[in-house]
Amino acid sequence: MNDGYALKVERLTVRYGDKVAVKGLSFMVNNGEVYCLLGPNGAGKTSTIKAILGLVKYEGLIDILGLGQPSPSVMNNIGVVMETPVVLEALTPREFLEFLGSVRGIFNARRAEALIDAFELREYLDTPIAALSAGNRQKVAIVAALLHEPRLLLLDEPFNFLDVKSVRVFKEIMQRHIESGGSILFSTHIMEVAERVCNRIGILNEGDLITEGTLSEIKERAKAGTLEDAFLKAIHADEEIKAILEGL
Ligand SMILES: Nc1ncnc2c1ncn2[C@@H]1O[C@H](COP(=O)(O)OP(=O)(O)OP(=O)(O)O)[C@@H](O)[C@H]1O
Ligand SMILES: [Mg+2]
């Protein structure tokens, strides 16, 4: 346990053969904050999250909740929604959630019931996950991530496929998680959501952290009125967009 940070990443490098996807990245997620990792497609956001989970080989230092490097023993403290959710398609949501409970050794039936209702999954509990709509599958992945009340959430595009009501419910759950001292590393392309929920923001481009700060710091630095404008300026896409539009 430590008081300052939930996650510390120092000089993280991730390579796929000759391709360097993450280039010496350093950042911290403090206790009680939402840290947003923004960046264009291919910037290295998912690779960073995979490294934090020990799913890819990496160089550098990762400290999760003061418990050290990714390992099975720290996983019970983490809830993860990957951009391609890992759900066992042949199982029903009920079987999948019970399976996770037995693997983790944590299953709070009351919390499970509450989350199932919050995401309106009750009528699908006994339907094979393979037969669910994309949004309902995503909801199963979200419930799975929240079930064991983890202290740190790693959320990679968690709002994919969700309907408006579920987005609202999930944003509220994220807020409560933070209020109760939890922390979130959150990757998204939706700037309006980022503007609302992020305490601090890091913008990744081609594996480099090109700017980091609070929403107002990022906007001030770019002399931009919105996060979208600040983001596009930071990655030098504003001029490119102008040229593209002139060519149309
Ligand atoms: N398994 C892999 N093998 C080879 N290259 C990979 C692999 N996974 C990712 N990459 C490459 O690493 C770079 C970073 O990819 P990553 O998925 O981390 O980006 P991202 O920021 O999550 O993008 P997106 O916004 O599209 O999800 C990209 O150039 C990608 O093509
Ligand atoms: Mg990604």
The closest residue, in CA terms, to atom 29 on ligand 1 is 42
The closest residue, in CA terms, to atom 1 on ligand 1 is 16
User: Is 231 domain-assigned?
Assistant: yes
Let me know whether 44 and 141 are in one domain.
no
Let me know whether 53 and 116 are in one domain.
no
Let me know whether 53 and 97 are in one domain.
no
The count of structural domains within the chain is 2
Give the atom of ligand 1 at the shortest distance from the alpha carbon of 19.
5
- Measured between alpha carbons, how far is residue 23 from residues 8, 36, 59 in Å? 16, 18, 10
What's the rounded mean pLDDT across residues 146-170? 96
Let me know whether 17 and 70 are in one domain.
yes
Cα 211 to ligand 1 centre (Å): 20
Q: Which range marks the domain in which residue 145 is found?
A: 87-149
Let me know whether 47 and 106 are in one domain.
no
Is pLDDT of 151 > 70?
Answer: yes
Let me know whether 65 and 162 are in one domain.
yes
Let me know whether 160 and 235 are in one domain.
yes
Q: Give the pTM.
A: 0.95
The closest residue, in CA terms, to atom 24 on ligand 1 is 41
Pocket test for ligand 1, best of 25, 41, 208 (most atoms within 8 A of CB): 41
Let me know whether 161 and 49 are in one domain.
yes
Instruction: Tell me the β-bridge partners of 79.
Output: 153
Contact present, 164 and 193 (Cβ < 8 Å)? no
Pocket test for ligand 1, best of 25, 45, 56, 57 (most atoms within 8 A of CB): 45
Residue 184 burial class via C-beta count within 10 angstroms: exposed 0-12, middle 13-18, buried 19 and up = buried
Let me know whether 107 and 164 are in one domain.
no
Work out the percent of the chain whose per-residue pLDDT is above 90: 85
Contact present, 219 and 188 (Cβ < 8 Å)? no
Let me know whether 157 and 142 are in one domain.
no
At which of 128, 149, 170 does a domain end?
A: 149
At which of 95, 119, 149 does a domain end?
A: 149
Q: Which carries the bigger pLDDT value, residue 88 or residue 205?
A: 205
List the single range of 24-38, 80-94, 106-120, 212-226 with lowest mean pLDDT: 80-94
Q: Which residue has the tokens 């497609």?
A: 41
* Cβ < 6 A, ligand 1 pocket: 16, 19, 21, 39, 41-47, 83
Is pLDDT of 1 > 50?
Answer: no
User: Is 134 domain-assigned?
Assistant: yes
List the single range of 1-5, 92-96, 156-160 with lowest mean pLDDT: 1-5
Output phi, psi for 59, to 5 deg: -115, 150
Q: Mean pLDDT across the chain, nearest whole number?
A: 94
The closest residue, in CA terms, to atom 25 on ligand 1 is 41
Ligand nearest to the Cα of 235, by number = 1
> Helix, strand, or coil here: 50?
helix
What's the rounded mean pLDDT across residues 63-82? 92
Pocket test for ligand 1, best of 14, 15, 18, 19 (most atoms within 8 A of CB): 19
- pLDDT for res 19: 98
CATH of the domain at 44: 3.40.50.300
Let me know whether 160 and 224 are in one domain.
yes
Is pLDDT of 25 > 80?
Answer: yes
- pLDDT for res 106: 86
Q: Which of 194, 183, 127 is CA-nearest to residue 159?
A: 194
The residue type at 145:
A
User: Is 58 domain-assigned?
Assistant: yes
Let me know whether 143 and 158 are in one domain.
no
Q: Which of 157, 132, 123, 145 is CA-nearest to residue 49?
A: 157
Query: Which residues, 6 or more positions from 99, have their beta carbon under 8 angstroms from its beta carbon?
Result: 88, 91
Residues in the chain: 248
